[in-house]
C-alpha cells in the first residue's frame, strides 16, 4: 500500500518566509484564491483573519499554518498535489508577504493516485 | 514608430522620482514616511517611488472625503456632469502622455493604450456625465391623497480598490459612476501599477473640489485592508480575486455595507462548425476572435482562455488559428507595431509559467509558445511570455483557473448540448464568446451560457452602455452601464399625504 502524499507541502524558501512572517504577525493561515488578477495565488493572513465557511477544505499545514481552499475549487484541484513556493514580486490582495517584495506561489504536480 | 521611454529625450512622460498620496486636493506625504519602489515590467527596472501608506493615511483621506461629501452630494447634477466632462476633455488633451505612462507602468502595448484604455476611460466620464443628467427618481400616486416619492441620494464616502490590468480604465469604471452619483471616493490603486493615476491626479485633480477624490497608495494589507474595514465607508468596490473578494465581504458584513465585486472568470469562446462554411471576412473575424486570448497579455478578467471548437472543424480551424497566433508580434510595448507586451509583474510571470508547467504535467499538448521570451534590446529582464495554445480537456486545471496570461486551452465539443455543458462547467461566469453564422444557434447559445456577458460574433469590446458583471463566483454588480449608478445611490422614499383630514385611528 502506498502512502498518500500530503495535498500541500512547502519549499524551504516558503517555510523560511512563513517563519519570518510568524515572528512579525503571530500565527498564520492560508487560503487558496481563484479568479482574476492575483487569482489562483495563495493568500497568507494572520490566523482567524479570514472567516472560514462550512465548505472550505483543509488541505494540510505549511510550517504550522493551516492551508485551506474553497470547496468548489477543491473539487477541481483534488487530482493535483500542491507545493507552496515563494518568488520575487508584489502580488495584490491582502496577503501578508507583499510588503516584503516577495509573493507566495503555488506549484503543482499530478497525483499518482487521484 | 517607437515612443521614447519615459524620462529620456523626446519622451511624452517625465516621472518625478517620488509620489505622495493625493488627499484633500493636494499631494501629501505618507504619515510614516515610507515609500516603495515601482518597477516597469517593460525593463524590470524601477522608475519611481510611491507612498507606502498605512491606516493613518487612509484616515486622512477619509477625513477629507467626509469633509467634502455634503457639499458634493448637493451639487446639482448638471454641475457634477460638467466637471466630469471637463476631466474627460483634459484626459483627451493628454491622451498620448497617459497612454505612454500606462504602457510603462503595466507593460501593455502602446497601440492598446492609445486605441482602447484611454479612449474608453475618457468616454466613461462622458457617459456617466450624460447618465446623471438623465437620471431621475419615481413617484406613484398610491391613492387620491397619497404620493410616494422615490428620490436618489448618494451613499456618501465610498472605498474603491483598483486592479493592475487596466489601471486607469478600471479606475474610470469605478470613479465615474460614483462621482456622477454624488459620492466622494477614497481610491487605492494596485501596488503594481500606481503611477498613471497619480499623473492623472496632477492633470485633473484641481477640477474637482478638494476631498472629492482621494488616492492613497500602498500595499493591500497595509492600506487596502483599513480602507475595506473602515466603518467610515458606505460601500466598497473591488476588482480582483475570490479570496480577497470573500474577505472584503466579511469586512463589509462587520459594517453592514454593500459591496460590488468583479472577481474574474474562465471565459469560454465557442466556435460552431458553420464559421468555416465560406472563406470570407467572417472566417477571418472568427480567427481573430480566437487570437483575442493574447489581448493585454491575457491579463483580462474576461480573457477567452477556453476555446471550445466544434469537432467537425476542429483540426482545420485549430490549424488556421495556430497560424494566426504565430503571427502575433511580441516586442517593445512602446513600439506601435507591437501586439503583445510584458506581463505586469514578476510574480505574474512566475504564476503563468507554473500553470504552463501543470498543463504539461496533466498531459495537455503545447501547440505553440509555452515559454518565457527574452527579447534583447534592454528588455531581457522584462516579463514576456510567448502566446501559448494548449490542447486538452475541460477537467484539466488549465481549463478551470484563470491563468491571467496569454494562454488559451483548447478542446472540442460534440453538438450544441455538449458545447453548453462544457462552457458552463466552470466556477465562474463573467464573459463568453459565441461564433456562428446561424442566428438561432447564436441566440440559443447566448441564453444558455451562464455568464454576465456573451459576446456574439465579436469579443473584447468594452463600450459604455453595455452592462458588465458576473454570474456565479465572478462577482456582484454590473459596471459600464447606467445601472451602476444604483450601486452608488440610496433610495429615499418620501411618503406624503395631501389629505388634511385625520385618519381616524386614535
- pLDDT score, position A38: 77
Looking at this predicted complex, what is its ipTM?
A: 0.94
Q: Are B83 and B17 in contact (CB under 8 A)?
A: no
Q: Any residues with CB less than 8 A from the CB of B150 and at least 6 apart, and which?
A: B137, B138, B139, B491, B492, B493
- A39 or B410: whose pLDDT is higher? B410
- Name the average pLDDT for chain B: 97
> How far from chain centre, in Å, is Cα B123?
15
Instruction: Say yes or no to pLDDT of A56 above 90.
Output: yes
Q: Do A35 and B240 touch (CB under 8 A)?
A: yes
- pLDDT score, position A2: 43
Considering the segment(s) B268-456 as one domain, its CATH architecture is: 3-Layer(aba) Sandwich (3.40)
Name the H helices within B219-274: 225-229, 242-255
Mutation target vs B (from A24, A25, A39, A42; most B CBs, 10 A cutoff): A39
The answer, as to whether pTM is greater than 0.80, is yes
Instruction: Say yes or no to pLDDT of A1 above 50.
Output: no
Instruction: Say yes or no to pLDDT of A6 above 90.
Output: no
Q: Do B395 and A33 touch (CB under 8 A)?
A: no
What percent of chain B has a predicted confidence (pLDDT) above 90? 100
- pLDDT score, position A50: 97
In A1-30, the residues whose Cβ lies within 8 Å of chain B are none
What percent of chain A has a predicted confidence (pLDDT) above 70? 92
Rounded mean pLDDT, A76-83 = 94
B141 is catalytic: no
Q: Do A89 and B347 touch (CB under 8 A)?
A: yes
User: To the nearest whole angstrom, how far is the Cα of B497 from the nearest Cα of chain A?
Assistant: 47
Residue of A nearest to B41 (CA): A89
Cα angle vertex B388, ends B332, B171, to 5°?
60
Per-residue pLDDT reduced to its tens digit, B354-366: 999 999 999 999 9
User: To the nearest whole angstrom, how far is the Cα of B221 from the nearest Cα of chain A?
Assistant: 4
User: To the nearest whole angstrom, how far is the Cα of A41 from the nearest Cα of chain B?
Assistant: 8
Residue of A nearest to B191 (CA): A92
Residue of B nearest to A92 (CA): B220
Determine the Cα–Cα distance for residues B206 and B38; give it in Å rounded to an integer. Answer: 25
Rounded mean pLDDT, B310-320 = 98
Q: Are B257 and B292 in contact (CB under 8 A)?
A: no
Hunting for cell 459620492 — which residue is that?
Answer: B183
B22 pLDDT band, cuts 50/70/90, is very high
Instruction: Give the three cell numbers for residue B113.
Output: 493604450
Rounded mean pLDDT, B383-403 = 96
Instruction: Say yes or no to pLDDT of A105 above 70.
Output: yes
User: To the nearest whole angstrom, how far is the Cα of B397 from the nearest Cα of chain A?
Assistant: 7
Instruction: Say yes or no to pLDDT of B197 above 80.
Output: yes
Q: Does A51 touch chain B (CB under 8 A)?
A: yes
> How far from chain centre, in Å, is Cα B459?
15
User: To the nearest whole angstrom, how far is the Cα of A50 from the nearest Cα of chain B?
Assistant: 6
Q: Are B90 and B204 in contact (CB under 8 A)?
A: yes
- Could you tell me the CA-to-CA distances from B278 to B284, B286, B290, B307, B313 in Å, in that order? 10, 12, 17, 21, 13
Mutation target vs A (from B224, B229, B242, B430; most A CBs, 10 A cutoff): B242
If residue A5 lies in a helix (H) or strand (E), which one and from where to where? none
Hunting for cell 527574452 — which residue is that?
Answer: B374
Instruction: Give the three cell numbers for residue B266.
Output: 474562465
- pLDDT score, position A113: 56
B3: helix, coil or strand?
Answer: coil
Q: Does domain B18-263+474-492 have CATH number 3.40.605.10?
A: yes
Q: Does A83 touch chain B (CB under 8 A)?
A: no
Q: What is the DSSP letter of B252?
A: H
Cα diameter, chain B = 87
> How far from chain centre, in Å, is Cα B200?
17
* Residues from chain A contacting residue B472 (CB–CB below 8 Å): none
Q: What is the DSSP letter of B371?
A: S
Rounded mean pLDDT, A42-60 = 96
**Domain-wise residue ranges, chain B:** 18-263+474-492, 268-456
Q: Does A71 touch chain B (CB under 8 A)?
A: no
Q: Do A96 and B221 touch (CB under 8 A)?
A: yes
User: To the nearest whole angstrom, how far is the Cα of B247 from the nearest Cα of chain A?
Assistant: 6
Same fold, B18-263+474-492 and B268-456: no
Determine the Cα–Cα distance for residues A102 and B247; give it in Å rounded to an integer. Answer: 21
Q: Do B358 and A37 touch (CB under 8 A)?
A: no
The neighbour count for residue B241, using CB atoms within 10 Å, is 27
Q: Do A88 and B346 touch (CB under 8 A)?
A: yes
Q: Does A92 touch chain B (CB under 8 A)?
A: yes
Instruction: Say yes or no to pLDDT of B326 above 90.
Output: yes
Catalytic residue among B97, B102, B191, B262: B262
- pLDDT score, position B432: 98
Instruction: Say yes or no to pLDDT of A114 above 60.
Output: no
Per-residue pLDDT reduced to its tens digit, B214-273: 999 999 999 999 999 999 999 999 999 999 999 999 999 999 999 999 999 999 999 999
Strands B407-413 and B365-368, by their bridges, are unpaired
Closest in B36, B192, B301 to A92, CB measured: B192
User: To the nearest whole angstrom, how far is the Cα of B350 from the nearest Cα of chain A?
Assistant: 7
- pLDDT score, position A4: 58
Instruction: Say yes or no to pLDDT of B351 above 90.
Output: yes
Q: Do B244 and A91 touch (CB under 8 A)?
A: no
Per-residue pLDDT reduced to its tens digit, B106-141: 999 999 999 999 999 999 999 999 999 999 999 999
- Name the average pLDDT for chain A: 91
**Domains present along chain A, CATH in parentheses:** 8-110 (2.60.300.12)
- pLDDT score, position A93: 87
Mutation target vs A (from B46, B165, B243, B358; most A CBs, 10 A cutoff): B243
Rounded mean pLDDT, B176-184 = 98
B283: helix, coil or strand?
Answer: helix
Determine the Cα–Cα distance for residues B198 and B437; give it in Å rounded to an integer. Answer: 46
* A-B C-beta contacts closer than 8 Å: 167
Residue of A nearest to B250 (CA): A51
Q: Are B364 and B330 in contact (CB under 8 A)?
A: no
Residue of B nearest to A86 (CA): B347
Q: Any residues with CB less than 8 A from the CB of B449 and at least 6 apart, and which?
A: B268, B270, B420, B423, B424, B429, B432, B434
Strands B268-271 and B306-310, by their bridges, are parallel
Q: Are B344 and A37 in contact (CB under 8 A)?
A: no
* Residues from chain A contacting residue B348 (CB–CB below 8 Å): 89
* Residues from chain A contacting residue B164 (CB–CB below 8 Å): 37, 92
Residue of A nearest to B228 (CA): A94
- pLDDT score, position B54: 98
Closest in B221, B402, B427 to A95, CB measured: B221
Q: Do B240 and A107 touch (CB under 8 A)?
A: no
What percent of chain B has a predicted confidence (pLDDT) above 70? 100
Q: Does A96 touch chain B (CB under 8 A)?
A: yes
Amino acid at each position: 500500500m502506498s502512502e498518500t502524499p500530503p495535498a500541500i507541502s512547502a519549499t524551504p524558501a516558503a517555510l523560511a518566509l512563513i517563519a519570518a512572517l510568524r515572528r512579525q504577525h503571530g500565527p498564520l493561515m492560508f487560503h487558496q484564491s481563484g479568479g482574476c488578477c492575483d487569482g489562483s495565488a495563495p493568500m497568507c493572513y494572520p490566523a482567524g483573519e479570514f472567516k472560514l465557511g462550512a465548505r472550505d477544505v483543509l488541505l494540510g499545514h505549511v510550517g504550522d499554518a493551516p492551508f485551506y481552499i474553497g470547496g468548489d475549487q477543491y473539487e477541481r484541484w483534488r487530482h493535483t498535489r500542491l507545493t507552496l513556493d515563494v518568488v520575487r514580486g508584489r502580488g495584490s490582495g491582502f496577503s501578508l508577504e507583499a510588503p516584503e517584495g516577495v509573493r507566495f506561489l503555488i506549484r503543482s504536480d499530478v497525483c499518482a493516485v487521484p | 514608430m517607437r515612443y521614447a521611454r519615459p524620462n529620456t529625450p523626446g519622451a511624452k512622460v517625465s516621472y518625478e522620482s517620488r509620489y505622495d498620496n493625493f488627499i484633500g486636493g493636494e499631494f501629501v506625504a505618507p504619515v510614516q514616511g515610507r515609500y516603495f519602489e515601482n518597477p516597469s515590467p517593460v525593463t524590470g527596472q524601477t522608475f519611481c517611488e510611491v507612498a507606502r501608506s498605512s491606516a493613518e493615511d487612509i484616515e486622512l483621506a477619509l477625513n477629507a472625503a467626509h469633509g467634502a461629501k455634503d457639499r458634493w452630494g448637493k451639487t446639482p447634477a448638471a454641475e457634477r456632469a460638467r466637471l466630469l466632462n471637463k476631466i474627460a476633455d483634459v484626459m483627451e488633451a493628454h491622451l498620448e502622455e497617459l497612454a505612454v505612462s500606462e504602457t510603462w507602468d503595466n507593460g501593455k502595448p502602446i497601440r492598446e493604450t492609445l486605441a482602447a484604455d484611454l479612449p474608453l476611460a475618457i468616454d466613461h466620464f462622458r457617459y456617466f456625465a450624460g447618465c446623471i443628467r438623465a437620471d431621475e427618481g419615481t413617484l406613484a400616486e398610491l391613492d387620491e391623497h397619497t404620493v410616494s416619492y422615490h428620490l436618489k441620494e448618494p451613499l456618501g464616502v465610498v472605498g474603491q480598490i483598483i486592479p493592475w490590468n487596466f489601471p486607469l480604465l478600471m479606475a474610470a469604471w469605478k470613479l465615474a459612476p460614483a462621482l456622477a452619483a454624488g459620492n466622494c471616493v477614497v481610491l487605492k490603486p494596485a501596488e503594481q501599477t500606481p503611477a498613471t493615476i497619480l499623473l492623472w491626479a496632477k492633470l485633473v485633480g484641481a477640477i474637482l473640489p478638494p476631498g472629492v477624490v482621494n488616492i492613497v497608495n500602498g500595499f493591500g494589507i497595509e492600506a487596502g485592508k483599513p480602507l475595506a474595514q473602515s466603518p467610515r465607508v458606505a460601500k466598497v468596490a473591488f476588482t480582483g480575486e475570490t479570496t480577497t473578494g470573500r474577505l472584503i465581504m466579511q469586512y463589509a458584513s462587520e459594517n453592514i455595507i454593500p459591496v460590488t465585486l468583479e472577481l474574474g472568470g474562465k471565459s469560454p469562446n465557442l466556435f460552431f462548425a458553420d464559421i468555416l462554411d465560406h472563406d470570407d471576412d467572417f472566417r477571418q473575424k472568427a480567427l481573430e476572435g480566437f487570437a483575442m486570448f493574447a489581448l493585454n497579455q491575457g491579463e483580462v478578467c474576461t480573457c477567452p482562455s477556453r476555446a471550445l471548437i466544434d469537432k467537425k472543424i476542429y483540426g482545420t480551424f485549430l490549424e488556421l488559428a495556430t497560424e494566426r497566433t504565430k503571427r502575433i508580434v511580441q516586442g517593445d510595448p512602446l513600439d506601435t507595431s507591437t501586439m503583445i507586451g510584458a506581463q505586469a509583474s514578476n510574480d505574474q510571470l512566475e504564476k503563468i509559467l507554473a500553470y504552463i508547467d501543470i498543463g504539461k504535467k496533466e498531459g495537455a499538448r503545447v501547440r505553440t509558445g509555452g515559454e518565457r521570451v527574452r527579447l534583447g534590446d534592454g528588455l531581457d529582464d522584462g516579463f514576456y511570455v510567448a502566446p501559448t495554445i494548449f490542447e486538452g480537456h475541460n477537467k484539466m486545471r488549465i481549463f478551470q483557473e484563470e491563468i491571467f496570461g496569454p494562454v488559451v486551452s483548447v478542446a472540442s465539443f460534440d453538438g450544441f448540448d455538449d458545447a453548453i455543458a462544457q462552457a458552463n462547467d466552470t466556477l465562474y461566469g463573467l464573459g463568453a464568446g459565441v461564433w456562428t453564422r446561424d442566428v438561432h444557434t447564436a441566440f440559443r447559445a447566448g441564453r444558455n451560457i451562464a455568464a454576465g456577458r456573451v459576446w456574439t460574433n465579436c469579443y473584447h469590446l468594452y463600450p459604455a452602455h453595455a452592462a458588465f458583471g458576473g454570474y456565479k463566483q465572478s462577482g456582484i454588480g454590473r459596471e459600464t452601464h447606467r445601472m451602476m449608478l444604483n450601486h452608488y445611490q440610496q433610495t429615499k422614499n418620501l411618503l406624503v399625504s395631501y389629505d388634511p383630514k385625520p385618519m381616524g385611528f386614535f
